[in-house]
């Protein structure tokens, strides 16, 4: 009985090690666009028109993940700015409630999809990426600050 358990444990460890190494190899060959496509499988997106309707309704937080310079050039009214590279470190101070309704955006949607996926993985329940990003918002003629 003990020998069967040992064999099972060794086989399980080998299987886990193989799976871990395989995932590392696959990730190593991915491009930024591949990461973006992968993130879209795990997140919810929202159109700019639906995002605008939620802004008008209130009770939603917009999170701009562009750089400070991009944010200062214009942003969704009331949006919080946390550049994508700082999300994991600063989100808890800006949006502590993991049930808060949050719409994440960047310039065109790439960074926001990655940031949204990060937030989902961190346990945020009601987070969406704005499809088309800031460019789509501005093109639609929606209000800016």
Residue 37, number of CB atoms within 10 A of its CB: 13
pLDDT in the model for residue 31: 84
101, 109 in Cβ contact below 8 A? no
Mean pLDDT by 10 residues, the chain (145 residues): 57 51 58 82 94 95 97 96 94 95 96 95 96 96 94
Strand order in the sheet with 126-130: 44-46, 126-130, 101-105, 61-64, 80-81
Has domain 33-139 been given CATH number 3.40.50.2000?
Answer: no
Is residue 102 packed enough to be buried (19+ CB in 10 Å), middle (13-18) or exposed (0-12)? buried
Report pTM.
Answer: 0.78
- Boundaries of every domain in the chain: 2-29, 33-139
pLDDT in the model for residue 15: 54
Residue with tokens 């939603």: 60
Q: Catalytic site residues?
A: 106
């Amino acid at each position: 009985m003990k020998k069967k358990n040992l064999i099972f444990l060794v086989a399980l460890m080998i299987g886990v090690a193989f799976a871990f190494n395989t995932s590392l190899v696959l990730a190593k060959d991915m491009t930024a666009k591949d990461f973006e496509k992968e993130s879209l499988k795990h997140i919810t997106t929202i159109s700019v028109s639906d995002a605008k309707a939620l802004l008008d309704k209130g009770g939603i937080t917009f999170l701009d993940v562009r750089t400070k310079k991009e944010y200062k050039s214009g942003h969704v009214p009331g949006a919080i700015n946390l550049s994508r590279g700082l999300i994991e470190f600063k989100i808890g101070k800006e949006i502590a409630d993991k049930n808060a309704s949050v719409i994440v955006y960047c310039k065109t949607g790439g960074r926001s999809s990655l940031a949204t996926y990060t937030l989902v993985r961190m346990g945020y329940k009601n987070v969406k990426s704005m499809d088309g990003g800031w460019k789509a918002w501005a093109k639609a003629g929606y209000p800016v600050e």
